[in-house]
Amino acid sequence: MARFRCTVCNWVYDEESEGVPFTDLPDDWSCPVCGAPKSAFVPEGLAKTDDSVETTVADAIVEQLVSLGVPVICGIPGDSNLPLVDAIRRDGRIRFVLTRHEETAAFMASAHGKMTDEMGVCMSIAGPGATNLVTGLMDASADRSPVLALVGQVPEVYLGSEAFQEIDQLELFHPFTAFAETIARTDQAVPLTMSAAKHAYRTPGVSVLSTPTDVLVEKAATAVLDPGRRLHRGAPQPPGDEIARAVELIDSCDRIAILAGWGARHHGALLTELSEKLKAPIATTSRAKGAVRETERRSVGVLGSIGGKRGGRAFQGAELVLVIGTGFRHASLIPAGTKIVQVDRDSTRIGRTFDVDAGILGDAGAALSGLAAGVSPRSTEDTEWWGKIDADRVAFLDELTAAGEDRSAPINPGFVIQALQRNVASDAVITVDVGDHTYWFYRDFICEGQRPFLSANIASMGFGLPAALSAQLDYPDRQVVCLTGDGGFGMLMADFTTAVREELPINVIVMNDGRLKNIKKEQARDGFPEFGISFPNPDFASFAETCGGLGYRVESPGDLDVAMSEAFASGRPAIIDVVVDPELMAASAKTVD
């Protein structure tokens, strides 16, 4: 017995329940729901050709994802992906998280990849569901996060016919993905799912599988592929001669500075060891903030457009800069004539925008181990150079103390950062949205074990809340804080209900100034009058409570520590709506590292 679907209204004619084969219906028979003719119906592909085969294409995809260790799939169900959603339900080994918007799902997948180095998975329906994924997937692509998007599609037999909600998905995704293919045959389901994972991990980057509905319900007898025998994720080992050349160059210089980027994020102990051995100041890019403890004397914070001045000042005196795991967009911070040693696993990023004196192609951890073992230790510090670096550190800490004691209202954004510093757990995950608050955080917050994450290379507003949801799923026993502005939070704030429904006790701190303050800075910088950047805000605290969470409205500095303390200890999703000074802005910059 078979089933046939009306391509106009999606009503299904089931031969078993109707008692009459579809082919025996009269030619003038029409759909009882919308009146469409018999010719408008297509087979759903549920007729069994082999009674021994029970697995559908959708089942096979889910089984392969389970074998790859995928814990969560985020997204929105609909007509074009329902077989896949039901396969997830029946299998039961992957958690499905319903989001309010596909952009949230894509950001969550991207954040999962950034935080765990494991492939994040999101899904959508055809048409608008697919287009809504783009921003989050672009974030993953630009920040090199492994992500797989499962995108529903109209029945394969109707591709190219301008069917309802049909778009050319591969054309949409190809410009920024590592892999994008359509599962058009039953025997493609398992190998294409494995290929998608392999490509997602390679760069890392984004893979997309377009899944026509009629193909998803077809029977598939293909066995799942063993990731242990198909998926290799080893990092390239640096050549010994390149390590030796770098060691020789480093040993020929007295003043060495270290810049650690995303590729070095897991190697804080090695970075600290090398820094001590060379008596070298160490800075990080914004993405690697927290890789080394910023309470250490040799840490000079974030170097770049959203960092503080002390890192730039320290690097001015260096004879050689060791750049590890970053393309370093702001190489202009390093004076001409400074020698550069660069380590990266991608050969195209070595010397991409600046000349290097020695390049090391390979894994940052292996390169750091080789360098730490090979360089000659410095017995003494350069007292003149380090005198300036230490003085800058004292001045910086004095600024933070002053900000933490500022009891003015509206609240100083710097005071918010210092209140967060006082109350946040030492191992917290902090997701940071894009806006004026980003500069305040990356300049003034001192990481003592906390790990922050942001949308770096495309700098997309709206990232903070979805990333916090993903972080709490990945680290259920750790404190998760989202620091966001009212502009970025307002874009996807409906998904705070997702935190409530999924019982994810995230803490959202909203810097509320009623405007796009970053744009205000840029308008002033470029000589434009302030225009089109202000908006009325709802009461975010009341919104939290109507969603089933906790809400705190803070207008006085004296109430902020109490609000944070209560929210962080509550074990419930919470929003802390902080009314900050709309005129007090961080230093201006156009880009985020």
Q: Do domains 3-43 and 240-385 have the same CATH topology?
A: no
Q: Which residues of 353-371 are buried (b: 16+ CB within 10 A; e: fewer)?
A: ebebebbbbbbbbbbbbbb
Total residue length of the chain: 593
The CATH code that applies to domain 240-385 is 3.40.50.1220
- Tokens describing residue 401: 């103390």
Confidence of residue 332 (pLDDT cuts 50, 70, 90): confident
Indicate the average pLDDT of the chain: 94
pLDDT in tens, 354-389: 999 999 999 999 999 999 999 999 999 999 999 999
Confidence of residue 167 (pLDDT cuts 50, 70, 90): confident
CB 311 within 8 A of CB 286: no
Give the E-state strand segments of 395-457 in sequence order. Answer: 429-432, 451-454
pLDDT at 220 over 90: no
Question: What does the pLDDT read at residue 53?
Answer: 66
CB 331 within 8 A of CB 354: yes
Domain boundaries, the chain: 3-43, 57-229, 240-385, 406-579
- Tokens describing residue 588: 């201006």
Mean pLDDT, rounded, for 111-132: 97
Distances (CA, A) of 163 to 40, 46, 126, 556: 12, 21, 11, 56
Instruction: Name which of 471, 473, 466 is nearest 450 in CA terms.
Output: 471
- Tokens describing residue 349: 């990023």
CA gap 552, 544 in Å, rounded: 9
pLDDT in tens, 61-104: 999 999 999 999 999 999 999 999 999 999 999 999 999 999 99
Residue 584 φ then ψ, to 5°? -90, 110
Give the E-state strand segments of 161-309 in sequence order. Answer: 179-182, 206-212, 256-260, 282-284, 299-302
Name the β-bridge partners of 106. Answer: none
Q: Token pair 């961080």 is at which residue? A: 586
206-212: strand order across its sheet: 95-98, 72-75, 120-124, 147-153, 206-212, 179-182
Percent of the chain at pLDDT > 90 equals: 87
- Tokens describing residue 472: 């709490």
Across 15-19, 197-201, 482-486, least confident range: 15-19
Return the CATH class of domain 57-229: alpha beta
Q: Which fold has domain 3-43?
A: Rubrerythrin, domain 2 (2.20.28)
**Which superfamily does 406-579 belong to?**
Thiamin diphosphate (ThDP)-binding fold, Pyr/PP domains (3.40.50.970)
pLDDT in tens, 13-61: 999 999 999 999 999 999 999 999 999 998 875 444 455 668 999 999 9
- Tokens describing residue 244: 């030796």
CB 396 within 8 A of CB 310: yes
- Report DSSP letters for 2-47, one per residue: -EEEETTT--EEEHHHH-S-GGGS-TT-B-TTT--BGGGEEE-S-S
Query: Does the CA dihedral 359-360-363-366 come out positive or negative?
Result: negative
Ramachandran area for residue 585 (φ above 0: left; ψ -120 to 50: alpha; else beta): beta
